[in-house]
Amino acid sequence: MPTYVSLINWTEQGLKNVKQSTNRAKAFRDMAEKLKVKVREIHWTMGRYDVVVVMEAMDDRAVSRLMLGLAALGNVRTETLKACSAEEMSQILDGIP
């Protein structure tokens, strides 16, 4: 299953309610489960991004639905990257002429 990494920043609304962050993470996991997205890890971070999420899904649409649903709540802005394992990258590199 493809892996996705989301880099997340709180909005002003999300920051005002930062104490609810772990509760929102639980609600996010529940939303993901309904959309058949497996949330592997959630990390609160220091630096440019406030939260990093690693997840797996069958396709880009499922992740897009999840992240748009999350953003619509108004607490975060997201940037999602599709990630490759070393094995997947090796297969990509094998196809380079």
User: Which sequence spans correspond to the domains of the chain?
Assistant: 3-94
pLDDT value for 97: 87
Percentage helix, strand, coil, to 5, in the chain? 45, 30, 25
Helices (H) and strands (E) in the chain, counts: 4, 4
42-57: pLDDT as tens digits? 999 999 999 999 999 9
CATH 3.40.50.300 describes domain 3-94: no
Q: How many CB atoms lie within 10 A of CB 74?
A: 12
Backbone angles phi, psi at 48, to 5 degrees: -65, -35
Query: pTM of this prediction?
Result: 0.91
With a cut of 50, which residues of the chain have pLDDT below it? none
What does the buried/exposed string (b/e) look like for 82-97 if buried means 16 or more CB atoms within 10 Å of the residue's CB?
Answer: eeeeeeeeeeeeeeee
d(CA 24, CA 17): 10
